[in-house]
Structure 1
Amino acid sequence: MRVAIIGAGISGLALAYYLQKLGVRYDLFESEPEVGGLIKSAKKGAYQLELGPHSLHMNEELQELLQELKLEDEIIRPATKTQDRYIKKDGSYHRLPASPRKLILDSFFHWRTKLQITQEANIPAQEVPEETVSNFFRRRFGQEVVDYLVDPLVAGHFAGDPEKLLLEKTFPHLKELERAHGSVLRGLDLEQELPQKPVFSLLQGLQTLPNAIASKLISLHVDHKVEMIHRAKGKYLLSIEHDVEGLADEEFDAVVIALPAHAAAELLDFTTPGLAAALHNVNYVPMAVVQTAYRKHSVGFPLDGLGALHPQKEQPFSMGTFWSSSSFPRICPDDEVLFTSFVGGGAAAENACLPEAEVLLRVHEELKENYAISANLPVFQHLHHWPQALPQADMFITDVHQLAQLMEQEQLYACANWISGPAVPDCVRYAKQLAQKIYSQRASLQ
């Protein structure tokens, strides 16, 4: 059995790694000279910058992978005593309560909202086709919960607009609680409380992870752009740009697409036009990642926690800011503070598309106001623009998922964040499960 994997972001890399462990022959093709996709780190003078994800949540698969790659000594945990996050409300930052029960006791919400939260168990369960995240929380908890809790959390995790994202594709567990118990809060009370997943980074930047996986792979081909996929007599052939090894002459039993949806659509236009058409409809949001540094003495706000999120109700410029150097102090000079701000996303995409100088200035002005910064200018600023940052699990994603599942009967698979979910741990878990699925089918494809 031989498998072609197209795309060496974290999903394609992890899949190749797990197939290699299982003894399945594969070839991993990447059109760029560098692997890692959205996981990108950069060293700019004294600053260690994350241009994609600013940190990762540990899960079982990631922990195992880091151990196997011998990266345990590279792991750095947040230096802050707490992993608290803050939300801006009425112009000020408020610590986000850690549980539904604390939300009821805290002064964060108006008393009418807290009363509605206490009565959530009395609201009948409903089956709403293609229900959005906002609609689900609005009918069960009220508009203030949508505005000041759901909106910023969805923006922080998915860079998305909760008025458009589907509940079943983003928070399916909450829908299952409503179905099983008639109430989200009753269901949460009956479940065993899960420990909080710890946040971490890596000493030389998160790009260490994809680079470490790539170093273990025996059949990785960078600078190899796959231009077309052909299927004949139950086998797949690839048209490959710069094919010096003659890999276009090889037959593959299965193909895995590990590309962004728009790139996958162009590649599949000829092979599977139905899936390609659905992939063309997948919405991506633009995002700008802005790092800004100031001298410590000029920052008048206690940065005790991971960062702050900005509800659209507050009319912010950025979706939120990660207090990078509070969590990982080694990433900038000792006498400085480094912030990472995220601009754009589903609800304010136009902000990410402004001229770079304007984005940098407006981020500085927002930081100055939010954190009582006395400096007129930052000592350092850097911007990285992602024109198509993250796929959105909106009404168009359902067809994509259904068609992708059907194509597995033809040994054409998908392994990308538009099917696994946007978080890196989800991508790694999905890749491991897919490797097992492909391995289990090897006998029928010999």
Structure 2
Amino acid sequence: MRVAIIGAGISGLALAYYLQKRGIAYDLFEAGSQVGGNLQTLHKKGYLLELGPTTLQMSEELLELITELKLETEILPVASRSHSRYVLNKGIPQPYPSGLKSFVATSGLSREAKYRILQERHIPPAQVENETITQFFERRFGREVVDYAVDPLIAGIYGGDPDQLLIGKALPKLKELETQYGSVLEGLLQRKRKGAFQKSFSFKNGMHTLPAVLADKLISLHLEHKVEFISRSQGKFIISCASNGDHDTEEYDKLVLALPAHQAAELLHYTYPGMAAALQNINYPPLAVVHTVYNQAEVGHPLEGFGALNPKEEETFTTGSIWTSSVFDGRCRPQEVMFTSFVGGSRNVAHTQADEQQLLQQVHEELCATYTVSAKVPVFQHMHLWRHSLPQYDLYIEDAHQMAESLEEEGLFISANWQSGVSVHDCVHHAKKIAAKINSKASSRSIAE
């Protein structure tokens, strides 16, 4: 059996790694010159800039992979001073509640909202078709929690709008808590007792460490190989690939697309037009990642925490900022502080269309107002624009998910964050499952022969 994998983001790399461990022949094609997808780290003028995720959530599966890659000594835990999260309320960063007690104690919610939270355990579970995150939390906790807790959180995770994202797709584990325990709060309490909460970390040399080391382990990775056409003949997938002006055509028993939905749609237009149409409907809003550095003496706020999220109600230019220099040492000089701010996403697409200098200036002005920054200009500032950031798990993704599952019977698999979930853990977990499925089919075929 031969397997073609297209796309060397973390999903494609992990899948190739797990296939290789099982002794299954594969070819991993990447159109670009580097791997990692959204896991990109830029070293510039002495600064370490994460262009994608800033932290990972540890899990048993991810720890197992890191151990196999001998990366344990490269793990960089978040600093103890950064455990507190904040949310902007009337222009001031207020502590973001991390549990029931902190929700009740916070000054950022009204007495009515706190009472409503305490009543959540008495609200019976319900099955609502295509229920959005907003509808779910408003039903269980009330509107104020949606506006000042859920909305900024979803903007931070997905760059998304909770009015559009489906609870069963975007936050399935929370929906499962309601179904299993009859209450989200009760479910979270049970998980806490079992020690199910994950720790955040990065790597000393940045997030790109993981995909880079994975790539080094692979024997059949082909960079700068752009797959231009996919066809199907006599049960085989025919892959036409261009590299350095040459064109090669190979046939494979299985095909795995580890690509963003819009790129996968282009390749499937001829062979699977229905799937291609479904993929075109998946929304990837633009998102700008802005790193801003100041001298510490010019910042009035102590920045003792992870960062602050900005609710839509605050009408800010950014959706929030991570206090990067408080989270990890070594991202900037000791006498400096670094912010990683986010502009755009589903709720503020127009903000990403500003001229780069104008966008950087607006981020600077907002940081000055929020964190009492006296500097006229930053020491350093950098912007990276993701024109297609993260897939939105809204109503339009449902068709693509259903069709992807049915196409597995024809030997076409998906290993991408629009199918698996957007976190690195989700991508690795899903890739391992796909490798097991392919191995199972290979074993069944061997027995039949």
- The alignment's TM-score, normalised by the length of structure 1, stands at 0.96
State the secondary structure of the residue aligned to 1:81: helix
Contact 2:95 2:106 in 1 (8 A): no
Which is worse superposed, 180-189 or 87-96?
A: 180-189
**Cα distance 1:202–1:110, how it changes in 2: closer, same or farther (>3 A)?**
same
Instruction: Give the equivalent residue in structure 1 for 2:208.
Output: 207
Preserved contact between residue 253 and residue 445 of structure 1 (Cα < 8 Å): no
CA contact (8 A) 1:80 1:326 kept: no
Partner Cα separation in structure 1 for residue 131 and residue 268 of structure 2: 30
Could you tell which deviates more after superposition, 231-240 or 98-107?
98-107
Matched, 1:218 2:225: no
Residue type of the partner of 1:365? E
Question: Does the residue aligned with 1:388 lie in a helix, a strand or coil?
Answer: coil
Q: How many residues align?
A: 445
User: Shift of residue 122 of structure 1?
Assistant: 2.6
Is residue 110 from structure 1 mapped to residue 110 from structure 2 by the alignment?
Answer: yes
Q: For 1:127-166, list aligned pairs within 5 A.
A: 127-166=127-166
Q: Which letter maps to 2:272?
A: T
Answer with 272-281 or 51-60: which moved more: 51-60
Which residue is equivalent to 1:257?
Answer: 257
Q: Deviations over 1:109-145 (max 9, x none)?
A: 1000111111123323322110000011111111100
Tell me which residue corresponds to 1:72. Answer: 72
Give the distance between the partners of 2:10 and 2:211, measured in 1 at CA.
6
- The residue that corresponds to 2:331 in the other structure is 331
Q: What amino acid sits opposite 1:198 in the alignment?
A: K
Q: Could you report, residue by residue, the CA deviation over 1:175-196 in whole angstroms, capped at 9, with x for unpaired residues?
A: 2232333322233344434353
Counterpart residue identity of residue 235, structure 2: G
Residues 28-70 of structure 1: per-residue CA shift (max 9 Å, x gap): 0001111111111111111111111122121222212222212
- Between the aligned partners of 1:338 and 1:186, the Cα distance in structure 2 is 38
Identity within the alignment, %? 50
| Cα contact 1:258–1:414 (8 A) shared by 2 | yes
Report the alpha carbon displacement of residue 105 of structure 1 after superposing the two structures with TM. Answer: 3.4
Structure 1 counterpart of 2:75, one-letter code: I
**Contact kept? 2:152, 2:309, Cα under 8 Å:** yes
Letter of the 2:339 counterpart:
F
CA distance in 2, matches of 1:175, 1:416: 22
Contact (CA 8 Å) 2:289, 2:341: kept in 1 or not?
yes
| 1-structure distance, mates of 2:52, 2:129 | 33
What is the CA-CA distance between 1:365 and the residue it aligns to?
A: 0.4
Aligned to 1:422: 422
Q: Which residue of 1 aligns with 2:121?
A: 121
Deviation at 1:245, TM superposition (A): 8.7
> Which stretch has the larger CA shift, 314-323 or 239-248?
239-248
Per-residue deviation, 1:234: 1.1
Alignment of 1:39-58 (within 5 A): 39-58=39-58
Partner secondary structure for residue 358 of structure 1:
helix
The residue type equivalent to 2:316 in the other structure is P
Deviations 1:65-107 (A, max 9, x none): 2222122222212234341110011221111122124312333
Cα pair distance change 1:245/1:437, threshold 3 Å: farther
Q: CA deviation at 1:246?
A: 7.4
Residue 105 of structure 1 aligns with an amino acid whose one-letter code is A
Name the CA distance, whole Å, in 2 between partners of 1:18 and 1:123. 44
Deviation at 1:359, TM superposition (A): 0.8
The equivalent residue for 1:234 is 235
CA RMSD of aligned residues (A): 1.6
Question: CA separation in 1, counterparts of 2:309 and 2:51?
Answer: 18
> Over residues 322-350 of structure 1, what are the superposed CA-to-partner deviations in whole Å (9 max), with x where a residue is unaligned?
11111212111111111100111111111
In structure 2, do the counterparts of structure 1 residues 445 and 275 end up closer, same or farther at CA, with 3 Å as the change threshold? farther
Residue type matched to 1:230 in 2? S
Checking the alignment, whether the CA contact within 8 Å between 2:299 and 2:373 is kept in structure 1 is yes
In 2: Cα distance, 1:392 partner to 1:419 partner: 11
Instruction: Give 1:374 deviation, angstroms.
Output: 1.0
Larger displacement relative to structure 2 (123-132 or 135-144): 123-132
> Secondary structure at the residue paired with 2:385?
strand
1:194 maps to amino acid? G
Q: Residues of 2 paired with 1:193 and 1:443: CA distance?
A: 37
- In 1, Cα distance between equivalents of 2:332 and 2:82: 21
| Rounded Cα–Cα distance in structure 2 between residues aligned with 1:22 and 1:384 | 38
Checking the alignment, whether the CA contact within 8 Å between 2:240 and 2:247 is kept in structure 1 is no
Change (3 A) 1:196 1:188: closer
Deviating more after overlay: 12-21 vs 328-337: 328-337
Contiguous gaps of at least 5 residues in structure 2: none
Structure 1 window deviating more from structure 2 (75-84 vs 435-444): it is 75-84
Q: Which runs of 5+ in 1 are unaligned?
A: none
Deviation string 1:170-219 (CA, Å, 9 cap, x unpaired) is: 11222223233332223334443435322212122211211111111000
Q: Verify the 8 A CA contact 2:81 2:326 in the aligned structure 1.
A: no
The alignment partner of 1:157 has SS state of helix
